[in-house]
Amino acid sequence: AKFLMRADDYSDLILNSVALGFLIEVDNMLFAAVTSDRCKLQVEHCQPLKVRGLSYNWDTQTRLFTSALIICAVLLELWSYAKPHGKLEVGDRLACLCQVTGPTCLAAQILGGLP
């Protein structure tokens, strides 16, 4: 759930969590609302499928690829914070929003308080 990690504040995190919960449960709600009682009983009496476990050997090439993928993801996330107009710069500019002062204040720049 990438969008949970990208939430900038708690309200976004809560809203995205509720949306994820809905997406996880929507199939159960549709099944309960659309199918007949007879069909529900048939599904309830079905035997579970048995699937053999997949045994996967993590060879050196797979470990290197996985490590490289993780490193790229971490670097991309760090870049999104440190790039020009990234999350750190926007956060610094919004930190003084209520006072409309300071050289990095976004509100002061928008309202014309700073050149």
CA–CA gap between residue 7 and residue 15 (Å, rounded):
9
> Dihedral angle at the C-alpha atoms of 22, 23, 25, 28, nearest 10 degrees?
130
pLDDT digits (tens, 9 = 90+) for 32-42: 899 899 999 99
The reported pLDDT for the residue numbered 104 is 65
Non-local CB neighbours of 32 within 8 Å, separated by 6+ positions: 40
Cα Rg, the chain, nearest whole Å: 25
- pTM, 2 dp: 0.36
The reported pLDDT for the residue numbered 38 is 92
Closest CA to 17 of 76, 77, 25, 30: 25
1 pLDDT band (50/70/90 cuts)?
Answer: low
The reported pLDDT for the residue numbered 54 is 64
Burial class (CB in 10 A: 0-12, 13-18, 19+), 105: buried
pLDDT digits (tens, 9 = 90+) for 45-88: 999 888 776 666 677 888 888 899 999 999 988 888 788 877 77
